Amino acid sequence: MSLDNLFAVPALTPQDEAELLLIFGNPLVTKYLLIMAAEDTKEYLGLSTLMVSPEHLAASHAVLRGKLAVLATLSSLAIKST
């Protein structure tokens, strides 16, 4: 069985794509995404390497990288809309 059969992925219409570009192109949304990225980064940088285990630090780093990747993807939509 193919994995494609397990998850139905809806398609975006051209109108949907245009609306998403308008939403993520909004300067307020862009500002909010930057705030989220900054807060997540500050939280990670605030971890004391002396107080947390290397495993916890590595896990926190992996989570941060994932969050920042999502925020970067969303922010790139704002760039495409300009």
Q: Please give the full DSSP string across 26-38, using - where no structure is assigned.
A: SHHHHHHHHHHHH
Query: To the nearest whole number, what is the mean pLDDT of the chain?
Result: 86
Task: Read off the amino acid at residue 18.
Answer: A
Which has the minimum average pLDDT: 7-11, 20-24, 44-48, 59-63? 44-48
Query: Domains of the chain: which residue ranges?
Result: 13-81
CA 19 to chain CA centroid, Å, is: 19
* CA–CA dist 11, 46 (Å, integer): 41
Which has the minimum average pLDDT: 13-17, 44-48, 51-55, 78-82? 78-82
Confidence band, pLDDT 50/70/90 cuts, at residue 80: low
To 5 degrees, how large is the angle CA 53–CA 58–CA 61?
A: 125
pLDDT in tens, 27-55: 999 899 999 999 988 888 887 777 888 89
53: DSSP letter: -
